[in-house]
Amino acid sequence: MEDKDLQRLTEEISLAFFKVPFQHNATFNPRLKTTGGRYLTSTSNIEINKKYYDALGIEELVGIIKHELCHYHLHIRGRGYKHRDQDFRKLLKEVGAPRFCTPIHTASTKPKAFRIYKCVDCQQIYKRIRKVNTIKYRCGKCRGKLEEMQKNVDIKE
């Protein structure tokens, strides 16, 4: 699917579900990492993450487009278009748009490894993703010396 196909699909969904034409641009944005799409209030354009279409198919793409069109049509009319607004939540239900997109697991969403540090004096444990300079930094509880216990332990949260 290319940008012109996405534009046509977005215009069709807008007419079918909202009964109002979509008069701006819908494009794929390869830089989106953690979201299915976004509505740009400054230009009224919609950007979609192509990875969601590739991984989950056309139905997920249609859901993301409906969600972004809810933002679009409410913003154009001057009504509450943000996630917390009642107008937005009501319109989501009316058109059957998802509030959140289905998460896809990519290399950028894998759990990060972290390091475990322990205070020599009070035994306080610290988990950090970045390496801590144990000469420069001390325990926040008792000001004792820190020592590294384990490296590269996977986070399971």
Question: What's the total number of domains in the chain?
Answer: 2
54, 129: one domain? no
Backbone angles phi, psi at 119, to 5 degrees: -75, 135
29, 91: one domain? yes
Portion of the chain with pLDDT greater than 90, in percent: 52
26, 98: one domain? yes
By annotation, the residues acting in catalysis are 68
CB 40 within 8 A of CB 47: yes
State the residue for tokens 């641009």. Answer: 25
148, 77: one domain? no
118, 92: one domain? no
Residue 20 maps to which CATH number?
A: 3.30.2010.10
Domain that holds residue 116: 111-154
48, 121: one domain? no
pTM reported for the whole predicted model: 0.66
Task: Give the list of residues 6+ apart from residue 119 with CB closer than 8 angstroms, or none.
Answer: 126, 139, 141, 142, 144, 145, 146
65, 18: one domain? yes
100, 118: one domain? no
Residue type, 34: T
In terms of C-beta density within 10 A (0-12 exposed, 13-18 middle, 19 or more buried), how is residue 124 classed?
middle
Over residues 93-149, the pLDDT tens digits come to 998 888 888 877 654 555 667 889 999 999 999 998 889 999 999 999 999 999 998
